[in-house]
Structure 1
Amino acid sequence: MKGTTTALLGVRHHGPGSARAVGAALAQFRPDVVLIEGPPEADALLPLAASKEMTPPVALLAHVVDEPARAAFWPFAAFSPEWVALRYALDAEVPVRFIDLPAAHTFALAAQAEAARDSVSSDDGAEGDADECDADEDAHEGEERHAARFDPIAELARAAGQEDAERWWDDVVEHVGHQARGSGDGSDVGPDVGAVPGAAGARAAPDAMAPFQALATAMTVLREQAPEVPEDARREAYMRKQIRAASRAGHQRIAVVCGAWHVPALSAKVSVAADNALLRGLPKAAVEVTWVPWTHRRLSQHTGYGAGIASPGWYQHLFESGGRHVVERWFTRMAALLREEDHPVSSAHVIEAVRLAETLAAVRGRPLAGLTETTDAARAVLCDGSDVPLRLIEDRLIVGDALGQVPEAAPAVPLQRDLTRLQRSLRLKPEARVRVLELDLRKDLDAERSRLLHRLALLGIDWAVPTASQTRSTGTFRESWELAWEPELAVRVAEAGVWGTTVEAAASTRTASRAVEARKLADVTALAERCLLARLPEALPIVLRCLSDRAALDTDVAHLAEALPALVRSLRYGDVRATGTALLAELADSLATRVCIGLPAAAAALDPAAAQPLAEQVAATHAAIGLLAAARAGEDRSPADAGAGAGRGSDARADAGADGVQARWEACLRTLVARETAAAVVRGRAARLLLDDGRLPDEEAARLLGLALTPGVPPAEGAAWVDGFLAGSGVLLVHDQRLLRLVDEWITAIPAAAFPDVLPLLRRTFSRLETGVRRGVGELIRAGGRDVAAGAPGEAPRGFATELDTAQAGPALATVRLILGTLSISEK
């Protein structure tokens, strides 16, 4: 319209130089409306950016209502030009709107294109038409790939004679206005940092619009060489439509902040009819938008709208420094970080690093020591040439672990609000930095934290992942987690919102649904274990019913053996989690009985590929049945039975129940050892388990070892038996003199004629042992042969006495009692 002035401010997303330039241009232009490239659905949320609770980096999250997984982010850092423009408009009380193509169209178009690709790929008829469609699609995709590869910044850098596009951009844009040594009185602030007409100062304020005009001219030339992308054409048509709407609304001074690539298209003379034709009939999807926290680490990755900057922490520093002592402050921050990590860094180091960085910049012809120069100087001076502390600087400073914050008034699904409430009540603040959380489940707070983390894991919200405990505790009352909040978790929370409005309700519903849908017994067993960990009383009966049904119908012994260990482990959680496990115990007992009955037949006529996993399952089942026997013994000794009237009888019943489980399993192992049709590796593993439990005499174990490689046994079968027998020995061969003696006597008894055929098989078996174990075994044998392992006739093995030496054991026993708190005063 007549009298309307439009300022097109083309920017580079997440560029501190562009952000400063936008601030200066807006202050000079004084618009009465600000239009920003972004999703119009978020217009109602823009006032929240002025809240004191809003701290960048943040992002706009848009997702399809019925499909939360279809989502997109629009990130904003403090140094993003769009954020500067948004805050300027809100502070100046100027209307501000987003003018990009609505996300409703973007999501629908993406779904439409995906459906079209699937349709073409699945169409087997009309080969000629399909080939033509494929050719058209390939050509279109080729254009899009070429457009994606076309980097305007790189083209401008090459035109300027520079190969490094990022370095060129930093020199001509990001470092403009900064000086290596500022005076500190503000005189070193460049013309694009806020100099406006009428500002006080000795220097005349330059035209803040000039850089944008020069950039627009350059982009106009570049766009003449680049292919047109339909998506860009639709977006630019919508932007032009919104600019016209602002003019018709009576605005006289319109400021448009958008990517510099779009400026030529927005300034071009295009008819209203042509734009309407591009936008007519576009599909739409129901979309919801909200603010979510973002991180500098996510800004450094090439996912998300406008992201992909390599050094957000450095850019944040450039933006916050205001052009004063940029390099000095940067090295001071490095020194503080290194001191926190106990690296010896003094002020002299900082001074020397600043000098070196400035010298490098002068030699390389740069206006300011940039990230490359400061990093090189830090490596040489602060890090003594080592890359180890430098990686800490890169992780904590150059990239950074800043996590934004959004106001409580921002829209959120009910599940997100419940999660936020739980995070506050349990004092689990989301942080971008990875941290380890050690939990003691005997404490109420830690138990509640554990339940929350397990419930989130069941919902697929991987805020925390289990890790090995740093305390090296094997008790069930200890847990260790690694926590790190990622922005994408907001999408997963929105997805999980369909299962319930609270974390507990959603986890219960989701777990029950997965149990019903599961087809494998092991999957349902794993769900039962996780359900107990998460303490989901509403889901547990459904999971256990599904578990009982699957166990009753599954006749595969391998499946039953695979499911039993997880089921038995679940019984251990009853004490520290106050969870009833009576039904689990019955199911575990039933599974153990069925495994004992069916395992010998299942181990017959197996090829090596199937026999090895079954041998591992036999070992896991052996450990599980040991836990099951202990759990059953503990159940049978109820508090009522502990009274004077029922003590001996209850103990007898408990021992009978425990012995019954173990007796069935021992009989199964003996059957496996004796059955020649069973796989050799399974027979060897069964013999070893019986030997470890003291259920197999040494003489019998030696006899079985001798039979393993007799001439009548195929070498491969004999090697498999020995492999199963020695599997998992590890340091046990060094410390278990009995086992070492058996192996040594067996090897030395091998006939000389058969030894060359046996040797390769022995090398394969022993090569699986750790290097230190092999060396220790060799030293024991070399030092004294079999006498080292067995001792002289009538004597105990080396390292053992015939009787307990209480005098030598006294100090060790006193230390143990001191640790346990049972040491008497006299002993102290």
Structure 2
Amino acid sequence: MAVTFLGVRHHSPACARLVADTIRSVRPAYVLVEGPADMNHRMDELLLGHELPIAVYSGYRDPERRHGSWTPLCDYSPEWTALTAGRDVGAELRFIDLPAWHPALAEVRNRYADAEARYNEVTGRLCRAFSVDNVDALWDHLFEIEPADGLAERLAAYFDLVRGDTRTGSDDMAREAYMAQWIRAAAADAGDGPVVVVTGGFHRPALMRLAEQGDRSWPEVPQPPVDAVAASYLVPYSFRRLDALDGYQSGMPSPGYYQHLWESGPADAARRLTEAVTARLRERRQPVSTADLIAARATADGLALMRGHPLPARVDVLDGLAGALVDEAIEVPLPWATRGSLRAGTHPVIVEMIAALSGDRVGRLHHSTPLPPLVHAVLPVVGGPGEERLDLGEEAGRERSRLLHRLRVLRIPGVVRTSGPRLMDGAELVERWTLTESDDRLPALIEAGGYGVDPQEAAAAALAERIPGAGLDQLADVLFDTALCGLGELTGQVLDDLARAVGAATDLGSLGRTLTVALAMWRHDDLFRTSGSTTLGMVVATATRRALWLAEDVRGGPAPADLHRIGAVVAVRDALRHAGPSLGLDTQAALGVADRIAVRQDAPPDLRGASLGLGWSLRGTAAADPARAVRGAFVPASAGDWLAGLFALAREEVLHTGGMLELLDELVGELTDHDFLVALPALRQAFGFFPPRERHLIATRLVERRAGGASAWDLTRLDAAPELVAAGRALDERVDAALRREGLITP
């Protein structure tokens, strides 16, 4: 067989040149490339004349699994130069790897991701031998900066050493066996004609061995199961998504730099890298002087010489720039000395340097590129940039809202809701959205096309994917999203799961949140079109009873108010008030629970206050003397937490009961400065349950009681933060105490 095996590193300019030069020299009958074999019949589509980077996005969905993966291609991808050079010399082009949906690639998100984790031991030894920090610097040192003479031999030696005796898993074995059959078939069909095989270097040694003997018939392209949906589409890609330093494990970091390296060589790439960093920093008003650039260039040249590089490599230039532009101590390792996304604490100048190396190139598909039906269904109706106000009381507003919510659920960029119905307030009938242009919108729509052919079907599939294994909080979110999207069929499935989860719930806060959602949907039929559901009513009733049962079992001493727990009691009150008679809820039994908790000293203060408020708000009168209850609960360490529960449930009752505000004013006024500072954070949280109008009413009454004709606005509009005022008072008290202790002032 006249087969030339080229093992490459994905997205390597040096490998891309070698592949193109070899194909033009050999002029093979076949060019075989590691890539999804189910795209072979669409090779003309792939080579239409797109602006790279692009990717083949493959989506798969069956009743048990959903998977999405990318095969990214840029100008300097060896796979891309293999296809374009092969087309130029008239070769037959074939992808020879398994389709992306195949179980052998079930864990693969990016087909051209680095596999160095499988041979860390070897690359680690090489990095130590050549005194470099990581595999990226090692690769540049061995291949990208060195002259092209002997490159094929050096690559072969490198990948032979890297593969070594590595034991591969069953997934790699399946892929390599499949690719080897393509190679044998192509070689047999070519006769005496040459064949060029371009694959990741890790696979090259095994493929050379496997291609020597075996079945020489053309392999079948695997088909997805009959109950599965699998499709592949071209998507615009970006350097940002391709950058390993941005957290995406592609073959190479800093794609902007390697684009320059591909186009004009290492010397010009180093110059352009420095220019890009300088321009980016100056745009952000970071001073970069000519002297800084001279120092950076001198340092980079010196490092290149010391490291044995004929020209400055990427790390030489970066180290030179970092030394010249960063004066402070660097607390975390430099990003190019490691792999993966940037770490917290990375110096801002370093962050901007990495962004400059990444580049901002975004691919563009040729106008003739086939797109999934979802794209055609959405783009004409999504609308241009701007603000939208939707009246949910009108059918047109509701229909528009459902479309936008479906796009939101599908994570389509540039579609953001700024206000509207929330979990805690489903009755709001005005919704506002902000629509913006985004380069990522088309790729996101193409990728979402794997969920369905239109926004309704796609959103339903995306939401259904969130159900398995979801907890109560997550199911509540899914339930609310299905209602906002107008997906009644899915709501039934979520309700069944929700009803089962509610019956076994152990967390009062999560249960309360779920009850809030279910009740809002049960009540507001004009908005959600979900009332009358037997299952939904069962969720409300079961959650109400379960919440009361859980609340009576809660124990705990003084602790910060748990707003989720308080919210659960609010949800119980609303359920009893708005759904009690219809769903057969026993309000008297609930009041009995509330009365018992309100006087139980081993219950948390916030829950005791909320329970008193629950009974007060439902009856219209407190079960016991509220003034006495307030006095009994007014302990500095927990008074605010108790009041938070009370105000959340019986805000209006407290406000309009004679003498209550005066009593609270008296109790606060009796606190020592120290006790007031202890109680202040929780008191602020408690009074935060009053809306602005009611806070103004409280301030008016307090001013009338204490200051006569002063303005309530002055009391509610401090020039300084309350915490600062309190801290000032504490400081004054300490100063006075010190002066008295030293006899400088008299008591």
**Normalising by structure 1, what TM-score?**
0.59
Q: State the alpha-carbon separation in 2 of the partners of residues 586 and 238 from structure 1.
A: 53
For 2:75, the equivalent position in structure 1 comes to: 78
Residue from 443, 448, 455 that aligns with 1:503: 455
| CA distance in structure 2 between the aligned counterparts of 1:263 and 1:543, rounded to whole angstroms | 49
Instruction: Confirm or deny that 1:684 pairs with 2:643.
Output: no
1:252 counterpart residue number: 193
- The CA deviation at 1:407 is 5.0
Alpha carbons 2:412, 2:445 under 8 Å: kept? no
**What is the CA–CA distance in structure 2 between the aligned matches of 1:78 and 1:380, rounded to whole Å?**
32
Instruction: Pick the aligned partner of 1:213 from 153, 175, 193.
Output: 153
CA contact (8 A) 1:548 1:587 kept: no
Aligned to 1:46: 43
Following superposition, the deviation at residue 257 of structure 1 comes to: 1.8
What amino acid is aligned across from residue 275 of structure 2 in structure 1? Answer: T
Give the CA deviation at 1:705.
Answer: 3.8
Whole-angstrom distance in 1 between the partners of 2:268 and 2:489: 60
The share of aligned pairs that are identical, in percent, is 23
**Does 2:356 correspond to 1:397?**
yes
Provide, for residues 11-43 of structure 1, a one-character-per-residue CA deviation record: whole Å limited to 9, x for no partner. Answer: 222212211222233333333432222333221
Q: Does the 8 Å CA contact 1:524/1:543 hold for their aligned counterparts?
A: no
Matches within 5 A, 1:131-530: 148-150=118-120, 153-154=123-124, 156=126, 164-176=134-146, 192=148, 210-220=150-160, 226-227=166-167, 235-236=175-176, 238-250=178-190, 252-267=193-208, 271-272=212-213, 275-276=214-215, 286=225, 289-301=232-244, 307-323=250-266, 325-345=268-288, 350=293, 353-382=296-325, 388-394=347-353, 396-400=355-359, 402-406=361-365, 416-419=372-375, 421-423=377-379, 425-426=381-382, 440-441=389-390, 451-456=402-407, 461-463=410-412, 477-478=431-432, 493=448, 496-497=451-452, 501-507=453-459, 526-527=477-478, 529-530=480-481
Residues 603 and 611, structure 1, Cα contact 8 Å, conserved in 2: no
> What letter is aligned with 2:155?
L
With over 3 angstroms needed to count, the CA separation of the structure-2 counterparts of 1:149 and 1:488, relative to structure 1, is farther
C-alpha distance in 1, partners of 2:306/2:471? 67
Contact residue 56 and residue 78 of structure 1 kept, 8 A: yes
* 8 Å CA contact retained: 1:526, 1:567: no
Structure 1 residues 339 and 158, CA, compared in 2 at 3 Å: closer, same or farther?
Answer: closer
Contact 1:295 1:402 survives alignment (8 Å): yes
| Whole-angstrom CA distance in 1 between matches of 2:132 and 2:94 | 37
Residues 525 and 566 of structure 1 are in contact (CA less than 8 Å); yes or no, is this contact kept in structure 2? yes
- Determine the structure 2 residue equivalent to 1:107: 102
Distance change >3 Å, CA 690–CA 763, structure 1 → 2: farther
Q: CA deviation at 1:747?
A: 5.5
Query: 8 Å contact 1:521–1:550 — kept in the other structure?
Result: no
- Note if contact 2:181-2:217 (Cα within 8 Å) is conserved in structure 1: no
Are the equivalent residues in 2 in contact too, given 1:327–1:354 (CA < 8 A)? no
Cα distance in 2 for residues equivalent to 1:156 and 1:773: 59
Question: Paired residue for 1:821?
Answer: none
Deviation at 1:426, TM superposition (A): 1.9
Which stretch shifts more, 63-72 or 163-172?
63-72
User: 1:380 Cα shift?
Assistant: 4.6
SS at match of 2:21: helix
Q: Deviations over 1:566-588 (max 9, x none)?
A: 356669999xxx83669489999
**Superposed, which structure 2 residues align to 1:705-784 within 5 Å?**
705-708=630-633, 723-725=641-643, 741-744=665-668, 766=679, 769=682
Q: Which runs of 5+ in 2 are unaligned?
A: 108-114, 331-345, 582-586, 652-659, 687-697, 719-747
| 1:533 and 2:476 are equivalent in the alignment | no
> Is 1:703 the equivalent of 2:657?
no
Please say if residues 314 and 398 of structure 1, whose CA atoms lie closer than 8 Å, have aligned partners that are also in contact. yes
On the 8 A contact 2:20/2:85 being kept in 1, the answer is yes
Aligned length: 649
**Distance in 1, Cα, partners of 2:566 & 2:31:** 71
Structure 2 partner of 1:566:
517
After TM superposition, list the pairs within 5 Å mapping 1:606-625 onto structure 2. 606-608=554-556, 616-619=564-567, 622=570
User: Partner amino acid for 1:530?
Assistant: D
Counterpart amino acid of 1:566? V
**Contact 1:561–1:617 (CA<8 Å) still a contact in 2?**
yes
**C-alpha contact 2:495 2:536 (8 A) present in aligned 1:** no
CA deviations on 1:420-447 (whole Å, 9 max, x unpaired) are 5414542589xxxxxxx97654699998
Q: Which residue of 2 aligns with 1:8?
A: 5
When normalised by structure 2's length, the TM-score is 0.64
Question: Could you tell me how far apart the structure 1 residues matched to 2:178 and 2:597 are?
Answer: 78
C-alpha distance in 1 between matches for 2:593 and 2:152: 82
Deviation sequence 1:786-821 (CA, Å, 0-9, x none) = xxxx99x998466x5447699x99x99xxxxxxxxx
Whether contact under 8 Å (2:48, 2:366) holds in the other structure is: yes
> How far apart, CA to CA, are the structure 1 residues paired with 2:550 and 2:211?
77
When residues 312 and 212 of structure 1 are mapped into structure 2, their CA distance, relative to the original with a 3 A threshold, is: same
In structure 2, distance between residues paired with 1:545 and 1:110: 34
How far apart, in 1, do the equivalents of 2:162 and 2:502 lie?
A: 70
The answer to whether the 8 A contact 1:147-1:227 is kept is no
| 1:216 Cα deviation from its structure 2 partner | 2.3
Query: Gaps (5+ residues) in structure 1?
Result: 113-144, 178-191, 193-207, 430-436, 633-656, 658-662, 711-717, 750-758, 775-789, 813-828
Deviation at 1:307?
2.9
- The 1:46–1:449 alpha-carbon spacing in structure 2 relative to 1, beyond 3 Å, is farther
Contact map agreement 1:593 1:664 (CA 8 A) in 2 = no
- Cα distance in 1 for residues equivalent to 2:177 and 2:84: 26
Q: Which has the larger radius of gyration?
A: 1
Which residue of the partner structure matches residue 201 of structure 1? none
